[in-house]
Every structure is written in C-alpha cells, then in structure tokens.
Amino acid sequence: MSEQQTPVDKLSLEQARAEIEPLRTQLTKWGQEYYEQDNPSVEDYVYDRAYQRLVALEDRFPALKTADSPTQRVGGAAESQLTKVRHEIPMLSMGDVFSIDELMDFNQRQQDNRDVTVEPEYNLELKIDGLSLSLVYENGKLVQGSTRGNGTIGEDVTANVRTIKSVPQTLPEPLSLEFRGECYMPKEAFAKLNAKREAEGLPVFANPRNAAAGSLRQLDPQVTAQRELDTFMYYVPEYEKLGVKTQAAALDRMRELGFNVNPHNRVVHSREEIEQYIAEYTGQRDKLTYGIDGIVEKVNDLATETALGNTVKVPRWEIAYKFPPEEQATIVREIEWTVGRTGNVTPTAVMDPVQLAGTTVSRASLHNPDYLQEKDIRLGDTVYLHKAGDIIPEISTVDLKKRPATAVKYEIPTACPVCGSTLVHLDDEVALRCINPMCPAQIKEGLAHFASRNAMNIDGLGPKIIKQLWDKELIHDVAGLYQLTHDQLLTLDKFGEKSTANLLTSIDNSRNNSVERLLFGLGIRHVGAKAARIVMEHFGDLDTLMHAEADEISAIDGIGPTIGESIVTYFSNQQVTELIDELRDAGVNFAYQGTQTPVNPASEWNNRRVVLTGKLVAMTRNAAKEWLENHGAKVTGSVSKKTDIVIAGEDAGSKLTKAQDLGITVWDEQQFSQAMKEEQ
C-alpha cells in the first residue's frame, strides 16, 4: 500500500537527515490527532509502522535523535480546559513488537541483563483498546481520577470517573494507594454512540479508544454518564502496600478490592505457552465484548520489575505484542444514499463481498459527504477494508495504484434520493440533510420511532408491519395510525383476527400516554426521552409548549438553547401544526401525567440556583441534590453569575474558586446542615 522504503542500514547520514524531520513532523501531527483531539486520521498500524521507522533511524544515527522527538515523549499534552494533575510516579507508554520473534528477542535481552536476574516467568494480559486511567484512594475513598496526559501531567477527570459503574467509590479496606488501568468503551456502546452521532449530523468516532477518550474528557459529567464507559484495572505502582510479590497476585488482590479486572491473564514460562496464548486470543478477539489490539507481556516477579526499571519513555519489564492489521482488499461498485428519521442522508459503499473478522462484508458506511471526499473514494476503486473497533466495517485507504483510468471524482448529490427535495448543510454539521418533513423515507423511519418502547409504546407495530401499511397506502403519517380499521389490518400478511385485535388495542391504549412520550415520539431533533419529560413537566401540556418562545424553553435546567430552538423550529412548520391537529382529533392525550417535582412556595430555597461541589461527609451529593430539589431549588452543575449559592464540601476545587471570584455566597456543609434543620 505504500512504496518500498530503502532499508535503514543502506541509508547515508544525509539521506537519513532528509527523511527524519518530515517523519517526525508527520508523527507529531498524527499523535496530536490521536491523543489530544481523539480524532485520528490514520489507522494504528500506519502510525506504528512510521514510528518504528523513526526508532530505527534514530538507533542507526544517534546524532539525529532530539529531545522533542516523538520517541522521547509519552502520550499527548493535557487538555487545557481540564484541571491539571501531576503524576508523582510517571505514567509511561509501552514499547511495541509486531512478531513472536521480536517478542522473544525482547525476553532474551532481559535475561542477558548483567545487573538483573530475570526468570522466564511472565504474566500475559489482553491489551485493552482504551486510554490509561489513574485512580487515587485515601483511606479507602476515591479522591482522584486522572488521565495519563504526557506521562507527567494529566487531566483531572474525577467527576467523570464517579459516573463509571465499575469504579469503586469506597474500598473494603482503608487503603491509601494509586491504582492504574484502562478506561474503555464496550463494542455495543461504541456502535450505539456512533449511530446516534451520525443521526444527529455529528462526526463519528474512529474507534472505541477515541470514543472512550472523548467521553472521559468531557467537561460535563452527565455526558460521560450516558456513554456507558467501563474499566479494567491492572497495575499498582506501590505494590508493596498490597502485600503481593507477583503481577498475577496483584490482579487477584485488585479483584478482592472490588475493581473490574480482566479475567484472561495467564502466567507462562516458555515460547510455546506464549504462542499458544497469542493464538488463542487472536482467534477469540472478535467474540469479546470489548476491543483489544494486542497482548501485553509483563515480568511476573514484581521485585524484578522494580530492578529492571524504565527508559525515559517505556518500562523495561513489559512489552506489547500488537496484532497485525486485519484488512481485505475489495472493489467499490456503488455508493448508495439512505435517508434517516431526522433527514440525515448517509452514503454507503457497496463492494464485492469479502471475509473480514469472521463475517462476510459487502457494505460500509461512509458516514457523511466530508468523509467521502476526504477519502476520495470513487466507483471502481480498490479499497482496504477493516472493522473499526472489531465491529463496524470501514474503509481505511484507497489503493491509488489500482485506480481505473476512467475513475472520476464522485459527485455529492444535491437532491434527496427519495423525495427529490434540495439537500442542505445545517450549521455546525457535517451531515447532509433532507429538511422536507413529508419525505417518505423520514416518515417511515419516524413511524417506527413513534411506535417504539420509549415513545408511544405501540406493541406489535414493528418496521415490517409499518412497511406493509405504507406500501398499501394505509398510513401517510403517525396520525394515520389512529385511523386504521379492523378490515384494513386483516389485509396485511400473516394478520388474523387475534393479531388485528391486539394491534388495535395497543394503538388505542397509546392515546392515553402522558404527553412526554408523544413529544419524544414526534422525533424532534435533539429531543430525547429525558429532555421530553423535563420540558413537559415544566409546561404541563403540548399546546402551552407550542406557543412558548425558544428562550423560555432554553431556560429550563438541563435543556439549553439547542433543544429550545429545535422545538420552536419544529412547531413553526405548518405541516406539523396540521399533524398535531390530526392527533388532537384522534383523541391523543396532550397533558403531562407524570409526578410533578414537589415545591413548597414558602421555602427559602424555592427557585434558588445552587451548585454542589467537593466531598460531603454527613450525606451523599445525590441526597443533598434530592433534598434541595424537593424544596424548590434548581441544582446545576456549573457556577455562573446566575448561581445563588455554592455549597462546598471537602476538597472543593475550581467551582469554589470561580464562586469566590464572582462573589457568590459560599456555604460549608455545616451551614447547609443547619439550614436543612431550620427548614423542617
């Protein structure tokens, strides 16, 4: 796929100097995209290949090695918007090898070490495709979570880490200790997140590692909480405090303490056992629920680990065996465009079928027009296909040497492939959209969403039945569902008296749903089930909401301008107004029937904006939040000029500082407890 390079040992000093600077520049750019922007432009193996070339050049010509070379740096710079954390013990990167022979050479170099006696006993672990995570506990309480950053300075992600279910908030023993591991996104969560982002016109994540990094480094912990992150812990820098002598025993102790520890480690002693382990998990890789990109080998004896120490960048006691890239070459025959529920028009490459990661693949999403043009994919091109995160088929590169002479740059469509309406780019989106609300493709997708469990919950009305109803012209929009008759349903395939009666009953029951289900079911952009409930709890009924201003909606805690403007834009459409009238005539409920948040008008907390920060001793933060909301307060996650009071517990950080800078009233937990007693 790339031109054959001259072997390093055949290069002159001047030839090496001419190659090394552009190579460093390219690797630095790729590293920033990967570590800092969570948006890599090349596959891991492309970076690894270039990095190994740089290592070889610097080893062959030591005079060309510089302190700012990517080979001398760990990870990337810490994100400026997050609080910095200094690692007392640096978090280093691992060295890589790409074959069994290279792995055996690494082991031999350890055993040839004159200063350290290394027994051939290793602990093998799966290399999780995530990002490094540090968890610090004091007296058994989680006090800090941080990313690796550049190895010395990382980012404080404590609030986000607390939303991850597999991270213990309290240990069963009063340990003051740091634990390290990997934060990752499971394959299913990765696929679901990318599908959601694609529907919303947002760029998709290239792989689970970048999805996990982008999720863990959010400024809003509520976003992190929705991303279904998980962890595997695997390292204790101060292992003596755990009373263990081997890496395998350290993993067992961490399991006992309640950490999530990957169960597939194995202690081995020979090349044969190492090869067997690698072969076993290379074969099982696709069946795992999380992504792995290799195998990690560690010296099992922890005293030997300490004696071996580290280089400036990597430990001498561990190495990563990286899986070779699994790719297949195929030919693009067609590019299809499909229209989603929100009007997002997505290109899909249709290719000659190939076997990839255990399945037959003939289609791959091209996500959006920008992606298609950046890759410059043309009909007839030979492309290399892999699975992002071992789950989603994706085109990595085009083989330009095999491009047909007749191939021309692909023209992006300007009209909807279904209804013919003009396609548009909305602000801040990479997606191409059809904004015709009566587009048949959008209506069919919208019907399935309307009937789904979290929306109107019409049991028995799935996509196949909706397609039949549409094809027979029995429905044209969601209001048409309430006009269906017994005789019409009997014309559907495999529909008898019982199935007809059941579906009619389910449709009829949905008329009585609380209105937040209807609002969510209408499929308004950016309005999820939670936002629909919050909005309808505030306004009480749909008619009141339809006459509200965007600013009024945006002012609701947890909503904001994006949702507010989207709701107002939706209801300003004349065709939507007609649809709402049809639903009203059909007897669909427009009133909120959920539980209202209790508010005491006489409470001094009523309508006060409160921020909780730091660690509370007498109660949990959630308990404090619940009490405040039950007494009419609006509890928010960030400090602003509109904040009335900040309640600061122990170890309060940047929110306390900002409150002090803005002159906002700050209470400690004792003052808050006293106010709670007085309120009673």
Closest CA relative to residue 551, chosen from 534, 570, 568: 568
What is the rounded distance in angstroms from the CA atom of residue 575 to the CA atom of residue 581? Answer: 10
Residue 434 makes CB contacts below 8 A (sequence gap 6+) with 339, 343, 345, 416, 418, 419, 421, 423, 441, 442
Task: Tell me how crowded residue 232 is: count the other CB atoms within 10 A of its CB.
Answer: 23
Token pair for residue 201? 């016109």
Strands (E), 340-478: 344-356, 359-365, 382-388, 392-398, 423-424, 432-434
What is the rounded distance in angstroms from the CA atom of residue 54 to the CA atom of residue 552? Answer: 57
What is the rounded distance in angstroms from the CA atom of residue 76 to the CA atom of residue 153? Answer: 10
H-run or E-run covering 611: strand 609-613
Residue 515 identity: V
Closest CA relative to residue 291, chosen from 332, 232, 347, 370: 232
Strands (E), 280-409: 292-299, 318-322, 328-339, 344-356, 359-365, 382-388, 392-398
Token pair for residue 196? 């959601």
Which residues are catalytically annotated? 127
Asked if 131 and 111 count as a contact pair (C-beta separation under 8 A), the reply is no
Three-class DSSP category at 432 = strand
447 phi/psi in degrees, rounded to 5: -65, -45
H-run or E-run covering 430: none
Asked if 365 and 394 count as a contact pair (C-beta separation under 8 A), the reply is yes
Token pair for residue 152? 């010395």
Find the helix packing angle between 208-216 and 187-199, rounded to 10°: 80
